[in-house]
Amino acid sequence: MTTCGEALIKGLEAFGVDTVFGIPGVHTLELYRGLGTSPIRHVTPRHEQGAGFMADGYARVTGKPGVCFIISGPGMTNITTAMGQAYGDSVPMLVISSVTDLHSHGKGLGHLHELPDQRSLVSGVAAFSHTVRDPAELPDVIKRAFDVFSGERPRPVHIEIPLDIMGSPANGVVIEPGEPKAAPAPDAKAIEAAADMLRGAESIALVFGGGCQDAPDGVRRLTDRLGAPVGLSVNAKGLLPPDHPLLAGTYVSFEPWRAVMEAADVVLAIGTELGETDFDFNRDGGARFGGKLIRSDIDPHQINLNHAADLGIVGDAGVVIDALIAALGGENADPTAGATVARKVAEDSLATETWMAPHVEYYELIAEIFPDPVIVGDSTVPVYSANNFFNANAPRSYFTSSTGYGTLGYGLPAAIGAKIAAPDRPVIAVTGDGGFLFSSSELVSAVEARTGIIVLLWNNESYLTIRDFMVEGQIKPVGCLAASPDFQMLAKACGARAVKLQGPDGLADAMKEAHAQDLPTVIEIAV
């Protein structure tokens, strides 16, 4: 007999899944029956939130969905924070969980891991949540999940399988990919209208967001065609190479770039929410538009959120960009004026926002040592800085939890997922002491999985940003960490390597040595 759980594993194999993050439990044994004979790799975190963050990091590097196996009840409540982060940043994630027997659903009988309504609890952080009531449903619901990942705004999907269904016969149930759902194509009239507006503009500003990260060639061609300065959101880092003359960086929250957008006849924004954490970091007013705003997004509901578009184009970013290039025709514009604007934005932003200066040297060292690093940021001050000034060499190479949902504890487990996705690339988790303590147990997972990640631990022995806000607001600091562990001993107790530095001196050698290892290395920077 082939059980429902075993059929599901075969289906995941057919869809190209090569890694699953999960913690086995008595309610998911049938899933693990199938894994035992499968080529799919299983990685065990030490907390279900860690499983979600690992899947998130894996998905951001590969563009493929990160897959998790989670027990019902506490397993699902634990992973919802990670799902919230993925939901906010449009990251594809497939969470497959158990749930109590069908006959006991919603009855409050006190079964192990019982929730009154597990699907309702998860639905707010998922594109959809589905209960499998018959093994015959599996092919359709798995296909539906992967259609979200390929043809819609990618977000987590939750599929729960009742215990009495998971072990039931599924002979004859075949889960096959079929034709993937295509992303929506843009309206031809909207493309022509946008091209007309762009052709008639004397000054243009371009804004690209994370929705464009799989279209770097198109972004570069459109940028060169228009000769306009470019501002990127954090999740769009790497769409243009750091030395591109029209790249104004990710200083989009600061006044120099705001002034550029306000002065432009037309702003073209593709694949971005124009949201607070990218465009209003200091929460002092947000983006301003003096001319026309053209917005394009795969999600039709996003076109008029935060800033209403004068012209909206619904469609996949890559398809929209290619269509605009074709509609514009002609030769590339002279980039001289745009390059001058872009250079001035970067120079003025870094000169004005002096709080970022102490962190620049660290990221310059990373860029100097490694040609293709993956940098994974937690919520901590050196990450907030790099969100603005750092330019990645390629898309899917820099991502953090400090935008959107903004959770702590993300950096370490997400870096593990990223390293599993890209084992030959240097993967660096940048985290603070506070965020590190949210998920430090995942160091054991990194050791077990033999992932040689580098953890750059910024240790100021406090929730310093929160403490500063309290002081500024004339609030006596309370609860901002009065005690910290010895991180060197903690790391070594988990089986990891550990180094302590007083600043950037010695960092280059420490990172080179760490990258050569198959064990994680914690490089603690004592601030």
* Pair 372, 513 in one domain: yes
* Pair 483, 359 in one domain: yes
Cα separation, 142 vs 65, whole angstroms: 12
Cα separation, 516 vs 59, whole angstroms: 24
- In the prediction, which pLDDT does 228 show? 98
- In the prediction, which pLDDT does 201 show? 96
- In the prediction, which pLDDT does 128 show? 97
**109 in a domain, yes or no?**
yes
**181 in a domain, yes or no?**
no
- In the prediction, which pLDDT does 111 show? 78
Cα separation, 54 vs 51, whole angstroms: 5
* Pair 210, 129 in one domain: no
From 330, 347, 364, the end of a domain falls on 347
- In the prediction, which pLDDT does 178 show? 87
Q: Which domain holds residue 397?
A: 353-526
Which H or E run contains 129?
strand 128-131
Domain with 413 in it: what CATH number? Answer: 3.40.50.970
pLDDT single digits (tens) 469-527: 889 888 988 887 767 899 999 999 999 999 999 999 999 999 999 999 999 999 999 98
* Pair 270, 297 in one domain: yes
How many structural domains compose the chain?
3
From 347, 380, 399, the end of a domain falls on 347
Contacts of 521 by beta carbon, 8 Å cutoff, 6+ apart: 452, 453, 454, 455, 496, 497, 498, 499, 510, 513, 514
**107 in a domain, yes or no?**
yes
Cα separation, 330 vs 55, whole angstroms: 43
Nearest CA among 280, 301, 468 for reference residue 381 = 468
* Pair 224, 162 in one domain: no
Domain with 195 in it: what CATH number? Answer: 3.40.50.1220
DSSP category for residue 455: E
- In the prediction, which pLDDT does 237 show? 98
Q: What is the pLDDT along the chain (527 residues), one digit of tens a residue?
A: 899 999 999 999 999 999 999 999 988 888 999 898 999 999 999 999 999 999 999 999 999 999 999 999 999 999 999 999 999 999 999 999 999 877 777 777 777 787 888 999 999 999 999 999 999 999 999 999 999 999 999 999 999 999 999 999 999 999 999 899 998 899 999 999 999 999 999 999 999 999 999 999 999 999 999 999 999 999 999 999 999 999 999 999 999 999 999 999 999 999 999 999 899 988 888 899 999 999 999 999 999 999 999 999 999 999 999 999 999 999 999 999 999 999 999 999 999 999 999 999 999 999 999 999 999 999 999 999 999 999 999 999 999 999 889 999 999 999 999 999 999 999 999 999 999 999 999 999 999 999 999 999 999 877 778 888 889 888 988 887 767 899 999 999 999 999 999 999 999 999 999 999 999 999 999 98
DSSP category for residue 186: P
- In the prediction, which pLDDT does 393 show? 96
Residue 518 burial (10 A CB sphere; 0-12, 13-18, 19+):
exposed
Tell me phi and psi for residue 276, to 5 degrees. Answer: -60, -45
**182 in a domain, yes or no?**
no
* Pair 331, 440 in one domain: no
Nearest CA among 61, 58, 55, 100 for reference residue 79 = 55
**250 in a domain, yes or no?**
yes
Which tokens belong to 220? 């570069």
**171 in a domain, yes or no?**
no
* Pair 340, 360 in one domain: no
Number of residues in the chain: 527
Are 44 and 413 within 8 A, CB to CB? no
* Pair 343, 369 in one domain: no
* Pair 197, 330 in one domain: yes
**176 in a domain, yes or no?**
no
Q: Which amino acid is at 218?
A: G
From 325, 347, 369, the end of a domain falls on 347
Nearest CA among 36, 48, 29 for reference residue 10 = 36
Q: Which amino acid is at 193?
A: A
Are 431 and 458 within 8 A, CB to CB? yes
**183 in a domain, yes or no?**
no
Cα separation, 374 vs 415, whole angstroms: 8
* Pair 364, 418 in one domain: yes
* Pair 220, 139 in one domain: no
- In the prediction, which pLDDT does 419 show? 98
Are 253 and 385 within 8 A, CB to CB? no
Cα separation, 336 vs 484, whole angstroms: 52
Output the pTM of the full model.
0.95
**How many CA atoms lie within 13 Å of 142's alpha carbon, on the beta-carbon side?**
27
* Pair 478, 364 in one domain: yes
